[in-house]
Amino acid sequence: NNSEINELYNEMKLAGYSCKEIKICPNRAGCIAKKVENGVLISATGADVGNLTLEDMVLITDRKENTIYYSGSKKPSTESIIAWELLKEKEVGACFIHCHCRKITYSEKSNYFTTKDYFMSENEEQIEEVKSIINKYGYVNLKLHGQIFIDKCYEIILGKIVNKYCEIDLESE
């Protein structure tokens, strides 16, 4: 349905623009996704999250082992496996932002919600570790690899990111 895709695209474009404006998705880093009726809509690999185009929207329809099945003119984000695994059981409308906030990534205050090792999205043990941390806190710090936040809308996620940044910033003064 074109009007539905346009509505989702406009929502994701605004969220991506916000990520770029608050400098948590520099250059072409990070991705955004949303649980939809028939899968997970995600930004394409290499997309500029802050300036998404309609062609940057890719629909993930399934995952079998390390193969992602999708439709779209571009390949889905390199973080498609973790986006799929975190969103597939969620309600339609659940949102996902993978960002790269340096202050959160490198703060010792983030240790309690940080993965043990550098995150490789095809590693099943790490996927389980990420799920566990996300289920507890609603977000996870991927060791040396940015963050993933999940919630029912992008506005809540962006608020959580800003709050986490400010909390770390205040503690470091």
- 50-96 residue pLDDT tens: 999 999 999 999 999 889 999 999 999 999 999 999 999 999 999 99
pLDDT at 122 (0 to 100):
78
Alpha-carbon distance of 49 to 17, in angstroms, equals 7
Confidence of residue 170 (pLDDT cuts 50, 70, 90): confident
Selection from 119, 115, 100, 2 nearest residue 49 by Cα: 100
Quickly state the pLDDT bin for 162 (edges 50, 70, 90).
Answer: very high
Q: What is the mean pLDDT of residues 111-129?
A: 91
- Which whole number is the average pLDDT over 4-32? 91
Which positions ≥6 away from 23 have C-beta within 8 Å?
Answer: none
**Cβ-based neighbour number of residue 159 at 10 Å:** 13
Q: What confidence score (pLDDT) does residue 1 get? A: 64
CA distances to 7, 32, 35, 78, 113 from 67, rounded to whole Å, are 28, 20, 19, 12, 28
Beta strand 57-64 pairing with 139-143: unpaired
What whole-number distance in Å separates Cα of residue 158 and Cα of residue 19?
A: 8
Reduced to 3 states, what is the DSSP secondary structure of residue 56?
Answer: helix
Task: Tell the burial category of 89 from Cβ atoms under 10 Å away from its Cβ (0-12, 13-18, 19+).
Answer: exposed
User: Is the pTM value of this prediction over 0.85?
Assistant: yes
DSSP at 121: T
Residue 172 has pLDDT above 80, yes or no: no
Encode 20-59: b = buried (16+ Cβ within 10 Å), e = exposed. Answer: beeebbeeebbbbbbbbeebbbbbbbebbbbebeeebbbb
More confident residue, 27 or 173: 27
Q: Name the pLDDT band for 127 (thresholds 50, 70, 90).
A: very high
pLDDT at 171 over 80: no
Which has the higher per-residue pLDDT, 19 or 26? 19
Average pLDDT, the chain: 93
SS3 3: helix
Confidence at residue 173, expressed as pLDDT on a 0 to 100 scale: 58
The lowest-confidence range among 5-9, 151-155, 159-163 is 5-9
What is the pLDDT at residue 91? 96
> So what's the pLDDT on residue 65?
86
